[in-house]
Amino acid sequence: MLFVERRVPSNSFYLFHDVVTLMESLSMAHVERKDMLQEWYQSTKVGINEASARHMASFRLVLPTVFSRTREGAPVSARHHFPALKSFKDWNNYDGVSGVKGYIAGESQIKALVLAMEMHKLSQNFILEMSSWIDAFFQELVTMSEASEEEAWEVIGSCKKNMFEVIRVPWAQAANATMDPNPSSQCATYLWALVQAHRIMKEFIDSTFCNHASIAPAIVLHIFKTLVTRVSLAGTAKRLEGRIAVLEKAKESKK
């Protein structure tokens, strides 16, 4: 429980898989439409997302759905140990496309898995790079520019806001993707937006954040806001000299 509370984001248990839950996450084509709708309805009714609902439902299964149902969703004769696999050809037709084996372990699934893992790793790396930059830049502002902690944090906040606004640009095209009735098109829209966001994330890392075109203006604006010009400094010095002279004159008169 402590591990979940401290280490698992939002208690997202559906991110962890064994053989059954993993195959259930790939079995959309082997579930009847009415089953999917019922599953979605029940999940929204109790306030959980679809991924959690599918994960939770898998714990009630003996056989993964891809082994126990046909693509049309109709159960086959009970005399088959795997109702969806009446023969070896149903498992592997040696064409690289058809068959349950091709569906759950085909090259396309592997490529998708590799892409997902790579995007996850790059996202983690970006968070680490961003966190290191925030700490280093904060210390730099406080020690080198002698800015107060409040000023330093305000600058960093402005920089981060600009960064996320830039990342948000490709996301805009996917904001209404839920309205797309085609699941493949919907997924492609989300994936394309994410890939474009990763391209921008790489730009931030390559430019060490501070040198990115969206962050540099925030830093320059801070410099202008806190800059003391020679004219301003000379005027301040002149006023101080005048006040000192008045004080010294008053002191002399008292003597």
* Mean pLDDT of the chain, nearest integer: 78
Let me know if 204 is exposed, middle or buried by CB neighbors in 10 A (0-12, 13-18, 19+).
Answer: buried
Cα–Cα distance for residue pair 162/220, rounded to 1 Å: 13
Cα–Cα distance for residue pair 72/75, rounded to 1 Å: 9
153 Cβ neighbours under 8 A, 6+ residues apart: 138
* Pair of tokens at residue 80: 């088959």
Query: What was the pLDDT predicted at 228?
Result: 57
Q: Where are the domains of the chain?
A: 2-105, 110-227
* Pair of tokens at residue 182: 């085609």
Cα–Cα distance for residue pair 65/69, rounded to 1 Å: 6
Question: pLDDT digits over 118-154, tens only?
Answer: 998 999 899 999 999 999 999 998 888 777 898 889 8
Q: Which residue bears the tokens 């372990």?
A: 105
pTM of the model: 0.64
What length is written for the chain?
255
pLDDT above 50 (res 33): no
